[in-house]
Amino acid sequence: MRAGPALRRRSELTRDSLSWFGPGAALRTAARRAASCVECGQALRSRRTPYCSRGCRWRFHGRYFWDAARRVVLRRDHYTCQACGLRSRKSALDVDHIREIAVGGAPLDYDNLQTLCRPCHRAKTSRFLRDRRGSRAAPLPSAPDPRSEGPEWFPA
| DSSP secondary structure string for all residues of 70-84 | HHHHHHHTTTB-TTT
Q: What radius of gyration do the chain's Cα atoms show? A: 17
96 binds Zn ion (CB under 5 A): no
CB-wise, 15 or 47, nearer to Zn ion? Answer: 47
CB atoms under 10 Å from CB of 129, counted, come to: 12
Q: Which stretch binds Zn ion (CB under 5 A): 23-31, 93-101, 105-113, 117-125?
A: 117-125
- A 10 A CB-CB count for 6 gives 19
- Please report whether residue 123 would count as binding Zn ion according to CB under 5 A: no
Q: Is 35 in the site for Zn ion (CB under 5 A)?
A: no
Quick check: 56 binds Zn ion (CB under 5 A)? yes
Q: Is 81 in the site for Zn ion (CB under 5 A)?
A: yes
| Strand, helix or coil for residue 96 | strand
Q: How far is the CB of 64 from Zn ion (least distance, A)?
A: 15
